[in-house]
Amino acid sequence: MNKKRLWACFAVAGLCILGGCSEESVYTLSKDEVKIKVHETEFDPLDYLLKDGEPLDEGDRAKIKTGAKIDTNTVGKTVFTFPEYGLSLHVTIYDDEAPTLSIVGFQVKRGVVFTWNEESLNKLKPQISDNYDSGDLLKKSLHCDSVDTNQLGKQTITCYVEDSTGNKTSKSVEMEVVE
């Protein structure tokens, strides 16, 4: 071995002994699957990427170029990939918030056949809101218990509404049967 090569080997060995050598970092995920609430604005896939078993520091975060975004406004499952590390983070976006419902009872005539239809449901003046579905969509899912029009007086019935992800809410309302 010539002297230049020998000195180069000693220099590299010396740097390694003094801590100058760095092993290649290993990137992993803290979780393979995560669940986040619909409309979550604080979700960052980099929060789940680890470098040598530790969370990324700001310098590491800045070096990682990722243009992919996850739409947290849509319920469902998606995968966020870190192709440079061969990693995939499975993300489930869920909605567990029930709609809100406000209704007002009204009078119906005794002995008249009463059915719930679009017109009679609108008499309840329903105010429906949800964190995921529109109120117009939810009005179509509004259902109420039947009213006994053979019995004079006030009756309490329950109305129900369900959003597209299966969250339900109910509200009691007082109906009055009059002559």
pLDDT for 89-148, tens place per residue? 999 999 999 999 999 999 999 999 999 999 999 999 999 999 999 878 888 899 999 999
Contact 142, 121 (CB under 8 A): yes
**Whole-prediction pTM value?**
0.71
pLDDT for 15-72, tens place per residue? 344 444 456 899 999 999 999 999 998 888 999 999 999 999 999 988 887 666 788 9
13 secondary structure, DSSP code: H
Contact 30, 89 (CB under 8 A): no
